Amino acid sequence: MEKYISFTVPSDSAISTVGQVLRAQGHLTKKQISRAKFLPDGIQKNGIRCRITEFVLPGDEIQVCLETAETASEQLVSGDFSSLEILYEDQDILAVNKPAGMLTHPSGTHYADTLSNLVAAYFQNKKASVRVRPIGRLDKETSGIILFAKNQVAAQRLQAQREEHVFRKEYLAVVAGYLPEDPADLWHTISFPVKKVSDHPLRMQAVPAPDDNCSTDASLLPAVTHYCTLYSAANWSLVSLRLDTGRTHQIRVHMKALGHPLLGDTLYYEQKLDNFSVQPSFARTALHAWKVYFRQPFEGNEIRLTGTLPEDFRAIIPYLPL
């Protein structure tokens, strides 16, 4: 998909060259500028292809091509995309709601039935040559919002927002046990490091109280989760969560470490039959990415999205804050 951005050299500018305009006004990296130089009409001044060393004058129009229509797309098997739930779309971003039970992108035997396949089919139907670029991922059983960038620079800028905690996701989880309800502005922090369980191919574990030897343990990964309890029942609670890090199964292992594993999580929670009738029923891990906050990667305006809740979460709607 073609992506051009333009800049006008301001009248009071002290910038002297095209390259300086691209770095100062466009916030482009050296790598992005270098790539544009080799595209047909990749960098233009007043409609004429130019070098980045050329001088500029106030009022000059600088245009740079960040991606062409011929940019190769990933060869994803695609087909019917009617089930794709689109929450937001602009020239740089597509936000969709991933259902539980679906992988984010192809892996192993799943090469034609993932969310990325649906997105590829959607782009192909629009005759848009767009490479499928998910910003982050969700576990197969986790439902909720995933963003896709439509061009490389948007992807890089959104990734930078993730690292700077400008791009934030908020999750809903239903956990076992009673947690006291919190005011809306009170967030608790879990900072237990996590690591793989040596005798299990999938399981992770949190280490609540690392000893002195853990400081040299390369398998320990820093992990930080924040949570706020929205509603409490006798033996289950509804919590909202935010992540500072994105470790495998981070929310699941952190809540288990607190003694409040997620309902439906067969990897980390053995649900007792005597509790089954008084807890919400989930046939999968009760985790949903319901909100996302980020800035439009080129315009800079803040975008806030709230996704629809899946069917198995709708029973807890009365307990959500207005």
| Residue pLDDT, tens place only, 251-271 | 999 999 999 999 999 999 987
Identify whether residues 160 and 175 lie together within a single domain: no
Secondary structure (DSSP) of 233-275: -SSEEEEEEEESS--TTHHHHHHHHTT-PBTT-TTT----HHH
- Does residue 128 fall inside a structural domain? yes
3-state secondary structure of 44: strand
Identify whether residues 56 and 29 lie together within a single domain: yes
- Taking the C-alpha atoms of residue 279 and residue 175, their distance in angstroms, rounded to an integer, is 9
Identify whether residues 174 and 299 lie together within a single domain: yes
Per-residue model confidence (pLDDT) at position 13: 79
Q: At which of 118, 144, 164 does a domain end? A: 164
Identify whether residues 219 and 294 lie together within a single domain: yes
Identify whether residues 18 and 116 lie together within a single domain: no
Identify whether residues 294 and 237 lie together within a single domain: yes
Q: Average pLDDT in the 136-141 region?
A: 91
Q: Average pLDDT in the 31-53 region?
A: 88
Q: What is the average pLDDT score of the chain?
A: 88
Per-residue model confidence (pLDDT) at position 278: 66
Per-residue model confidence (pLDDT) at position 109: 77
Q: Please tell me which residue, 38 or 96, carries the higher pLDDT value.
A: 96
C-alpha atoms less than 13 angstroms from C-alpha of 278 in its C-beta half-sphere: 11
Per-residue model confidence (pLDDT) at position 276: 47
Q: End-to-end CA distance of the chain, in Å?
A: 39
Would you say residue 243 has pLDDT above 80? yes
Cβ within 8 Å of residue 125, ≥6 positions away: 81
* Structural domain total, the chain: 3
Identify whether residues 153 and 179 lie together within a single domain: no
Supply the CATH number for residue 99's domain: 3.30.2350.10
Cβ pair 175, 210 in contact under 8 A: no
Q: Which residue has the tokens 């820093």?
A: 222
Cβ pair 80, 47 in contact under 8 A: no
Per-residue model confidence (pLDDT) at position 316: 86
Question: Among candidates 281, 302, 279, 283, which has minimal Cα distance to 291?
Answer: 302
Q: From its phi and psi, is residue 278 left (phi > 0), alpha (psi between -120 and 50) or beta?
A: alpha
Write out pLDDT tens, residues 104-121.
988 777 778 899 999 999
Write out pLDDT tens, residues 214-237.
556 778 999 999 999 999 999 999
Per-residue model confidence (pLDDT) at position 19: 92
- Does residue 72 fall inside a structural domain? no
User: 241 is in which domain, residue-wise?
Assistant: 169-319
Would you say residue 294 has pLDDT above 90? yes
One-letter amino acid for residue 295 of the chain: R
Q: Average pLDDT in the 13-22 region?
A: 87
- Does residue 73 fall inside a structural domain? no
Per-residue model confidence (pLDDT) at position 118: 93
Identify whether residues 179 and 311 lie together within a single domain: yes
- Does residue 22 fall inside a structural domain? yes
Q: Specify whether 139 is catalytic.
A: yes
Write out pLDDT tens, residues 54-90.
999 999 999 998 876 555 455 666 678 899 999 999 9
Kindly name the residue from 139, 185, 217, 244 that is annotated as catalytic: 139
